[in-house]
Chains A and B, each alone.
Chain A
Amino acid sequence: GQQLNQSPQSMFIQEGEDVSMNCTSSSIFNTWLWYKQDPGEGPVLLIALYKAGELTSNGRLTAQFGITRKDSFLNISASIPSDVGIYFCAGLIQGAQKLVFGQGTRLTINP
């Protein structure tokens, strides 16, 4: 089946630093989404991308839909303590009903 390879698996950064994570796949996706999951909670949608090359921001978060439609990245600028959590990319293949999730990136911030 389709797989999303998300990296890095974990990140340990200082407060105020910028963060970058990405997802790649051997399959073409029509939609890329980025979610954040806090411990013991369900994922919350951060950004949705629908077009190849699309660059979208949501506050300090910026995500891009790769030109090849096989990858996407998420950047977080000037990290703050509440950014701690697990970030998941997810993709939707044309004609598909269900999302495919990446393995997640666990973000830890040292104050």
Chain B
Amino acid sequence: GAVVSQHPSRVICKSGTSVKIECRSLDFQATTMFWYRQFPKQSLMLMATSNEGSKATYEQGVEKDKFLINHASLTLSTLTVTSAHPEDSSFYICSPSVGSGGLSEVETQYFGPGTRLLVL
């Protein structure tokens, strides 16, 4: 199966600092990248969708200036949490997709192992 890596796997930071999370698709090219956030004992909530070389589309209620997404290549996307606060503590999961998403391509939407962020 497809291999997706996220780095770091865990990060603890002080309130007010910025944290960058990297997501790499190691053996395939991801046309589309989905970023999810998961709070404890809750479901995955989509934060934003990005296509390689284009600006990300953010879901309602997700601040684009706080969660900066860069999808500069087909194998790498980054999520930067700027000026992190304790309420940003969560499990962040990237999900690269071979296609643009949609009916025929859901099976080629893979999930990274996640990054646990704790903001003190």
For B, the interface residue count at a CB cutoff of 8 angstroms equals 25
Least CB distance, B75 to chain A, in whole angstroms: 17
Bound CA span A31–B109, Å = 13
Decide: B43 and A99 in contact? CB cutoff 8 A. no
Is A48 at the interface (CB under 8 A from chain B)? yes
Decide: A104 and B43 in contact? CB cutoff 8 A. yes
Decide: A48 and B107 in contact? CB cutoff 8 A. yes
A38 to B, closest residue via Cβ: B113
By a beta-carbon cutoff of 8 Å, the part of chain A in contact with chain B is 30-31, 33, 35, 40-45, 48, 50, 88, 92, 94-99, 101-104, 106
Decide: B43 and A101 in contact? CB cutoff 8 A. yes
Known contacts: A48-B107, A97-B49. The answer to whether A88 contacts B4 by CB under 8 A is no
Decide: A41 and B113 in contact? CB cutoff 8 A. yes
Q: Which of B11-19, B82-90, B97-105 contacts A (4 or more CB under 8 A)?
A: B97-105
B112 to A, closest residue via Cβ: A42
